[in-house]
Amino acid sequence: MNFANSIEAFERAKKSIPGGVNSPVRAFSSVGGTPPFIARGEGAYLIDIDGNKFIDYIQSWGPLILGHSNERVINKLKDAVYRGFSYGAPTVAETELAEKIKYLFPHVELLRFVSSGTEAVMSAIRVARGYTNKNDIIKFEGNYHGHSDSLLVKAGSGATTFGSPSSAGVPESFTKHTYLAKYNNIQSVKNAFESSQTNSGGIACVIIEPIAGNMGLVPAELEFLQELRTLCDKNSAVLIFDEVMSGFRADLRGAFGLTNIKADLITFGKVIGGGMPVGAFGGRADIMQKLSPLGNVYQAGTLSGNPLAMAVGNETLDILLENQNIYKILNSRAETLMNGFKKSADKNRIPLQIDVRGSMFGFFFNSQKVKNFDDALKSDTVRFAKFYRAMLELGIYLAPSQFEAGFISVSIDENIIQETIAKADEVMANL
């Protein structure tokens, strides 16, 4: 493939945008080469400014479950555009979308829209702290909840220590109330609860990706989530499920549909905006009523509930509600894709771990099953980079990092899946 125009565009972008990109993973730092600059999306495909056509397994990092440029969604967006871009005032569309989410998540009694997943998580933690009158939180290594200061943490010196900042510009005092636990390791959570109780009066909330997608696809084990629910109840802590990525992706009802575990608060994003900037957080009424104007926890946003995002979100969820068999179809296609990768890897004696949840998939060049971030870090990232670049040259657009999940859209049919498997088989033979 020829990437001359993208190379030129990348160099131009670097002169005005840090690193030439507006989100770090787009820079292809972990896989090498120049990122294709995209001109348009059509169904299952992305077309770049050099005219290269790629099968898109990123789908804007999840929201495009219906594929690019779905006709029904576009028509609904057009109608909304002609009525105005933003009002900064309430609309019926906000209530309609909230009602759809509540219907699918019955334990979500009240819901508030924001403009991003980061904002949703930041707000959910704030209201959890306001509700419990406690400061400390627990998060898990390898889980990503956006770039707010208190969540950009790395492990401290011991299993029960506070996290320390993992980004410059974040004062240590901002993360001193954040404890890090190990994913799928309940003892590490118990240790954090005990340490917090001793040091500062207890944990306000535990936040987790019940189906992690930011260290690769790593689902939490059912028993682990059940024990987490019990621990939070025992310690009067709020359990927050971050489903910005997995909500309406792994299942129509997210992790709740697969585990039947009711979190106290849930954060949403991605699919509920159908590709438009949107996020939401919601849950138990007694917690959510702490928010202004009902309570004393302040949160606001001019673009929250933006009418364009609400129009696209409503139409996307309407289509999914009308066609709930979509999830079985997408799960089957994701399993076919991953089993194809695994068969090819085995044939070529390449260690590969695979997993699927609904329309989400993941694979690791790793000799052991990946259950947490430590396991994920043992993956062969050099081999992944080689695989990635070779697949890109063959027109397959995967997430440019070993530590990101992939996504199937409705537009990716069985023929496209088989084409991808054939190309993966070709690449695996040369790894």
pLDDT at 161: 41
Residues 185-195 have a mean pLDDT of 96
Q: How does pLDDT run across 295-304, given as a tens digit for each residue?
A: 999 999 999 9
Q: Percentage of the chain with pLDDT > 70?
A: 97
Residue 32 has pLDDT above 60, yes or no: yes
Sorted by where each starts, the structural domains of the chain and their CATH numbers stand as 4-57+325-428 (3.90.1150.10), 71-322 (3.40.640.10)
Residue 100 has pLDDT above 50, yes or no: yes
Six-digit token string for 384: 């992944």
pLDDT at 380: 97
Q: Which residue in the list 57, 131, 144, 327 is annotated as catalytic?
A: 144
Helix, strand or coil, per DSSP, at residue 129: helix
Residues 27-50 have a mean pLDDT of 96
Contact, 394 vs 207, CB < 8 A? Answer: no
pLDDT at 156: 43
Residues ≥6 apart with Cβ < 8 Å to 180: 138, 139, 140, 141, 153, 154, 155, 156, 163, 192
pLDDT at 37: 98
pLDDT at 153: 79
Q: Which residue in the list 56, 242, 355, 375 is annotated as catalytic?
A: 242
Contact, 217 vs 355, CB < 8 A? Answer: yes
DSSP string, 142-157: T----S-GGG-EE--S
pLDDT at 201: 86
Q: Respond yes or no: is residue 380 known to be catalytic.
A: no
Q: Respond yes or no: is residue 270 known to be catalytic.
A: yes
Residue 108 CA to residue 319 CA, distance in Å, equals: 21
Q: How does pLDDT run across 372-417, given as a tens digit for each residue?
A: 999 999 999 999 999 999 999 999 999 999 999 999 999 999 999 9
pLDDT at 338: 98
Residue 254 CA to residue 107 CA, distance in Å, equals: 13
Residue 188 has pLDDT above 80, yes or no: yes
Q: How confident is the model at residue 199 (pLDDT cuts 50, 70, 90)?
A: confident
Residues 243-265 have a mean pLDDT of 96
Q: How does pLDDT run across 122-176, given as a tens digit for each residue?
A: 999 999 999 999 999 999 999 989 888 778 876 543 333 445 667 788 777 777 8
Mean pLDDT of the chain: 94
Q: Respond yes or no: is residue 242 known to be catalytic.
A: yes
Residues 347-358 have a mean pLDDT of 97
Spatial CA neighbour of 35 closest among 44, 17, 43: 17
**Alpha carbon separation from 219 to 271, 332, 367, 380 (Å, rounded):** 19, 18, 18, 20
Q: How confident is the model at residue 45 (pLDDT cuts 50, 70, 90)?
A: very high
Q: Which residue in the list 134, 176, 270, 423 is annotated as catalytic?
A: 270
Q: How does pLDDT run across 86-98, given as a tens digit for each residue?
A: 999 999 999 999 9
pLDDT at 241: 98
pLDDT at 155: 52
Spatial CA neighbour of 103 closest among 360, 317, 261: 317
Predicted TM-score (pTM) of this structure: 0.95
Residue 76 CA to residue 53 CA, distance in Å, equals: 27
